Amino acid sequence: MEDQLEEDKIRKWALAWEPRTKLVAVILFIFGVISLTTIPTTVTAYLFSLLMILLMGISITLVLKRYLIILPFLLLMTIPLLFSTGLTVSNENLTFAILILLKAFTAMTVISILLDTQTMEQFMRSLAGLRVHPIIITVLMHSYRYVFLFLDDIQKMQIAAKSRLFKGGISIRNLKIFGQLIGALLIRSVDRSERVYKAMTSRSFDGRLRVRPTSTITSLDYLKTSFMLMMIFLLIFAENWVG
Amino acid sequence: MHIADGVISISVAATTTVGAVGILAYSLKGTKEEEIPKISLLAGAFFVASLINIPIGPTSIHPLLGGFLGLVLGRRAPFAIFIGLILQTLLFQHGGISTFGTNMLLMSIPALFVNYLSSIKKNIPLFLKGFIAGVIAICIAVFLLILLLFLSDQRYAEGTFSVIRLLVLAYFPLAILEGIVTGVAYKYLYTMRPSLFNGAGGTSS
């Protein structure tokens, strides 16, 4: 999720989807997907999510890169399942491992709808519209702004360490340096928080940041959300009552 | 340790989501206006600090800092973890919507336990205190993860090289490394900013 979207690539209907209804659709769809227990229904959910992102104009390469982020953890969870009974792979465990991968990839594909069709500001406004506690939104907005500053800080610290011939590794001396880097980053953040608080109180900060009101939900937004939810309910229904 | 969607069952995902909401409400309760900048900045800083890669041969590991969060933020640690996880899901695109509650509990429970231990055992040398906090936080998180995986599906525990056994083998050395890093960072932070830990504007309870 970025501050600016590549609006020329994403279809208008996806950009116009009201963020609150979009968030609800994505969350419920993912919970629906993880409740599926057979390969045909899960593959259908996966193909549906792929079709959705293609119709929205979301880059498939970007989605594949996101799969790579979660792949190491998924391999740790699935490869031992295949060889738990020795070198012969049981069909039951193979199906279970495939289901895990399919569900994870489907979820990541659907999350891309959230990540690529709205800005962070729109997401925060949708949270406010869903009546999330104002303190949570205030803290989230602050943290989001400062994360980039800290990333810059930590990068500079690591360059400084490298320029002093620090190469990393897990010796006690090196771990001590890593610990001190973390400590130094936190001290900077505490100092900064004190300055920020003083600046904010001098500008009448009362514990909550103002966010612009969310746009109104149209019948088209309800239709998009209902369509996604209907799809997953049909799959759950097919699995439990038809199959 | 970021559990991806699809790994745990729907019943475990739903239960942990409810649990996470409860723990977040506990952490949020009584948050004062003057704590907001500190929680925001420390949440962001901890999140970034946990991205520091420690290279080991061809691969690298990164600290989780759950125990450290418990020591510094006390009761507010689950709140900071919640914020960190949203950033991880959206900004760094790690996903984990259905496992959001699970991920939150895996870090929040150890952080709160460390905070509790720290409040009853006060006269411990600084490095040792941080070391214990780091090791305990990882051990509790791994124990909880194993429990949730087992409750999700017993096949995770089957066989000589089961997922659960591999997790224990992989995380035991990491717990020691996390302990050392947390110990050093805690000692450093306490020495430089003791006011952060003795209630003078601190958020620890």
Which chain A residues touch B160 with a CB distance below 8 Å? 84
Phi, psi of A44 (to 5 degrees): -60, -45
Residue B1, domain member (yes or no): no
Which candidate, A49, A54, A51, places its Cα nearest to that of A105?
A49
Q: Which of A205-219, B7-21, B107-121, B144-158 has the lowest mean pLDDT?
A: A205-219
Task: Quote the CA–CA distance of A75 and A180 in Å, as a whole number.
Answer: 33
Residue B4, domain member (yes or no): no
pLDDT at A107 over 90: yes
Predicted confidence (pLDDT) per residue in A228-242, tens digit: 999 999 999 999 887
Bigger pLDDT: B57 vs B197: B197
User: Residue A231 has what pLDDT?
Assistant: 96
pLDDT at A61 over 70: yes
Per DSSP, the residues of A110-179 read: HHHHHHHSS-HHHHHHHHHHTT--HHHHHHHHHHHHHHHHHHHHHHHHHHHHHHTT----SSHHHHHHHH
- Please answer yes or no on whether A108 and B5 come within 8 Å at the CB atom: yes
Task: Quote the CA–CA distance of B184 and B198 in Å, as a whole number.
Answer: 19
Residue pair B138/B42 in contact (Cβ under 8 Å)? The answer is no
Residue pair A17/A134 in contact (Cβ under 8 Å)? The answer is no
Residue B117, domain member (yes or no): yes
Average pLDDT, chain A: 87
How many domains, chain B?
Answer: 1
| pLDDT-derived band at B202, boundaries 50, 70, 90 | very low
Q: What is the least distance, in Å, from the CA of B113 to any CA of chain A?
A: 22
Mean pLDDT of B177-182: 91
Task: Quote the CA–CA distance of A157 and B55 in Å, as a whole number.
Answer: 16
Q: Which of A1-10, A61-70, A74-83, B163-172 has the lowest mean pLDDT?
A: A1-10
Predicted confidence (pLDDT) per residue in B111-155, tens digit: 999 999 998 888 889 999 999 999 999 999 999 999 999 999 998
pLDDT at B56 over 70: no
Task: Quote the CA–CA distance of A194 and A199 in Å, as a whole number.
Answer: 9
| pLDDT-derived band at B203, boundaries 50, 70, 90 | very low
Which chain B residues touch A174 with a CB distance below 8 Å? 54
Task: Quote the CA–CA distance of A109 and A222 in Å, as a whole number.
Answer: 21
pLDDT at B179 over 60: yes
Interface test mutation site (partner B, options A189, A196, A208, max chain B beta carbons within 10 A): A189
Question: Is residue A27 within a helix (H) or strand (E), and if so which, with residue range?
Answer: helix A19-34
Residue B203, domain member (yes or no): no
pLDDT at B205 over 60: no
Which candidate, A103, A99, A108, A101, places its Cα nearest to that of A76?
A101
Q: Looking at residue B46, which CATH number applies to its domain?
A: 1.10.1760.20
Predicted confidence (pLDDT) per residue in A144-176, tens digit: 888 888 888 888 888 888 888 777 777 888 888
**C-alpha distance from residue B13 to each of A121, B26, B160 (Å):** 28, 20, 27
Which chain B residues touch A91 with a CB distance below 8 Å? none
Residue B5, domain member (yes or no): no
| pLDDT-derived band at B66, boundaries 50, 70, 90 | confident
Residue B163 lies in domain: 10-196
Residue B78, domain member (yes or no): yes
Which chain A residues touch B98 with a CB distance below 8 Å? 30-31, 34, 107
Mean pLDDT of A111-139: 89
The two most distant CA atoms of chain A are separated, in Å, by 69
- Please answer yes or no on whether B79 and A139 come within 8 Å at the CB atom: yes
Question: Is residue A104 within a helix (H) or strand (E), and if so which, with residue range?
Answer: helix A91-116
The domain segmentation of chain A, as residue ranges, is 12-118+215-242, 132-201
Residue B3, domain member (yes or no): no
User: Residue B57 has what pLDDT?
Assistant: 61
Mean pLDDT of A12-38: 93
Predicted confidence (pLDDT) per residue in A179-203, tens digit: 888 888 888 888 887 787 788 778 7
Task: Quote the CA–CA distance of A27 and A19 in Å, as a whole number.
Answer: 12
Q: Which of B9, B40, B48 sits opposite A185 (nearest CB)?
A: B48
User: Residue B201 has what pLDDT?
Assistant: 37
Predicted confidence (pLDDT) per residue in B91-107, tens digit: 777 778 999 999 999 99
Which candidate, B34, B103, B119, B31, places its Cα nearest to that of B70?
B119
**DSSP label at B95?**
-
**HSE-up (13 A, CA, CB side) for residue A227:** 11
Here the ipTM equals 0.87
Which candidate, A184, A172, A191, places its Cα nearest to that of B131?
A172
The whole-model pTM stands at 0.89
Task: Quote the CA–CA distance of B164 and B142 in Å, as a whole number.
Answer: 9
